[in-house]
């Protein structure tokens, strides 16, 4: 099959399910603590939020993994909770405890007060960072922008912080469905406006992280998460800047609902490692590309094991177009960067003959 692709367009071609010269690969949380150069910049910034909210520093750490490894995409260094922060909830991080909000939502009245923030006002630090990264990348690899999903944002907005079981937000959804739908609707409109602004600022692909969608039973997942992912897809489809920008949805753990997700109007689905890509592909057919799905713990094993497991994931997907290699969840801080180089090399060399 005749084709042309290289590091500058493999990722976007694979998302469109076009032939590629090698399977593209990027890594969730690739700009992160496992990299010594990231830790140095993070220390200079003083805090995680200062790093995320200073465009020059966010740009610097975004580029680090792309400079070090032959990755096929950059993803802006940012946080999934920027939107509720812009809505006034007061995002902050407690060392070792993850994100928290100063003013979580406690009742329907709190929700009724929420509005859609203007991204070029209150989230300007994100669009500025995207413009800067695009310039610095000089077309080497495409740039991904992202946001949290309406449901995942609602989890943190109502719980006020992370949770083992998100029981409070689930009980709220069950007991106050009208208020919950109002919250999810404003979240969906805010996320769509935010992603559209990211596209206008130069993001070449957009990803929505539905980190906690998989905590829901399938019927609740459809009602409270997937429906609002579809709303975002529809809003982006009507936006002049975002219309042609590929949208990737990742509802971690929601493997019972892959068919539903494939029908939301997105271009690709992120897949975690608890299902084979073969099964996922059989279920969603040709509707979407797939992104994933090596268990992040594999990177703690030996180079030999990493190569074998990379091949297993590539074999699971099989000789079809439409695969973006990734982990099934974010890379962990205790990974040796040399193991990431092994992974990237294994993906490219194994995939090289796949579609030729």
Q: Which residues are catalytic?
A: 29, 33, 42, 79, 156
Shortest separation between residue 18's beta carbon and a copy of itself, angstroms: 28
Shortest separation between residue 158's beta carbon and a copy of itself, angstroms: 12
Burial of 240 (0-12, 13-18, 19+ CB in 10 A): exposed
User: CA-to-CA distance for 196 and 194, rounded, in angstroms?
Assistant: 5
User: Is there binding between residue 91 and a copy of itself (CB under 8 A)?
Assistant: no
Shortest separation between residue 57's beta carbon and a copy of itself, angstroms: 28
User: CA-to-CA distance for 26 and 305, rounded, in angstroms?
Assistant: 19
Q: How far apart are the first and last CA of the chain?
A: 6
Shortest separation between residue 305's beta carbon and a copy of itself, angstroms: 5
Out of 124, 168, 311, 320, which residue is the one contacting a copy of itself (CB under 8 A)?
168
Out of 3, 312, 319, 336, which residue is the one contacting a copy of itself (CB under 8 A)?
312
Which parts of 270-309 interact with a copy of itself (CB under 8 A)? 273-276, 279, 295-298, 300-302, 305, 309
User: Of 127 and 225, which has the nearer Cβ to a copy of itself?
Assistant: 225
SS3 (DSSP) at 344: helix
Residue 324, beta-bridge partner list: 291
Q: How far is CA 22 from the centre of its chain?
A: 22
User: Is there binding between residue 332 and a copy of itself (CB under 8 A)?
Assistant: yes
Which of 70, 244, 199, 57 lies closest to 140 in space, CA to CA?
Answer: 70
Examine residue 293 and say whether the peptide bond preceding it is cis (omega within 30 degrees of 0): yes
Q: How many helices (H) and strands (E) does the chain have?
A: 17, 9
User: Of 274 and 356, which has the nearer Cβ to a copy of itself?
Assistant: 274
In Å, the largest CA–CA distance within the chain is: 59
Out of 36, 121, 175, 285, which residue is the one contacting a copy of itself (CB under 8 A)?
175
User: Is there binding between residue 255 and a copy of itself (CB under 8 A)?
Assistant: yes
Which parts of 122-151 interact with a copy of itself (CB under 8 A)? none
**Which token pair is 278?**
């073969």
User: Is there binding between residue 97 and a copy of itself (CB under 8 A)?
Assistant: no
Shortest separation between residue 142's beta carbon and a copy of itself, angstroms: 28
SS3 (DSSP) at 323: strand
Which parts of 181-240 interact with a copy of itself (CB under 8 A)? 214-220
Answer for the pair 76, 58: CB distance below 8 angstroms, yes or no. yes
Q: In sequence order, what DSSP letters do the residues of 187-217 get, joined into one string?
A: HHHHHHHHHHHHHHTT-SEEEEE-TTGGGS-
User: Is there binding between residue 336 and a copy of itself (CB under 8 A)?
Assistant: no
Count of residues that bind a copy of itself according to CB under 8 A: 37
Shortest separation between residue 323's beta carbon and a copy of itself, angstroms: 16
Q: Given the rule CB under 8 A, which residues bind a copy of itself? A: 165-168, 170-171, 174-175, 214-220, 253-256, 273-276, 279, 295-298, 300-302, 305, 309, 312, 328, 332, 334
């Amino acid at each position: 099959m005749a084709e042309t692709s290289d590091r500058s367009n493999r990722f976007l071609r694979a998302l469109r399910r076009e032939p590629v010269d090698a399977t593209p690969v990027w890594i969730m949380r690739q700009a992160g603590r496992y990299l010594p150069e990231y830790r140095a910049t993070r220390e200079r910034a003083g805090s995680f939020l200062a790093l995320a909210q200073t465009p020059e520093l966010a740009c610097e750490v975004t580029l680090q993994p792309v400079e070090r490894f032959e990755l096929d995409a950059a993803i802006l260094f940012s946080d999934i909770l920027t939107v509720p922060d812009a809505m006034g909830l007061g995002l902050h991080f407690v060392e070792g405890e993850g994100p928290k909000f100063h003013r979580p939502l406690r009742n329907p009245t709190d929700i009724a007060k929420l509005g859609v923030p203007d991204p070029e006002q209150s989230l300007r630090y994100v669009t500025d960072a995207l413009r800067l990264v695009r310039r610095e990348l000089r077309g080497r690899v495409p740039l991904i922008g992202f946001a949290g999903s309406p449901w995942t944002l609602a989890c943190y907005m109502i719980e006020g912080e992370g949770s083992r079981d998100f029981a409070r937000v689930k009980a709220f959804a069950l007991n106050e469905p009208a208020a919950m739908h109002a919250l999810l609707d404003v979240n969906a409109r805010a996320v769509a406006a935010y992603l559209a602004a990211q596209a206008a600022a130069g993001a070449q692909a957009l990803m929505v992280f539905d980190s906690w969608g998989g905590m829901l039973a399938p019927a609740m997942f459809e009602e409270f998460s997937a429906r609002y992912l579809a709303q975002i897809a529809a809003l982006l489809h009507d936006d002049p800047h975002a219309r042609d920008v590929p949208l990737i949805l990742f509802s971690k753990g929601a493997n019972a609902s892959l068919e539903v997700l494939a029908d939301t109007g997105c271009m690709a689905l992120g897949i975690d490692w608890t299902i084979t890509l073969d099964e996922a592909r059989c279920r969603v057919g040709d509707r979407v590309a797939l992104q994933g799905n090596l268990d992040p713990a594999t990177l703690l094993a030996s180079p030999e094991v990493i190569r074998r497991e990379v091949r297993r994931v590539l074999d699971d997907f099989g000789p079809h177009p439409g695969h973006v290699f990734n982990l099934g969840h974010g890379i962990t801080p205790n990974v040796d960067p040399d193991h990431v180089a092994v992974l990237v090399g294994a993906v490219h060399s194994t995939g090289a003959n796949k579609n030729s």
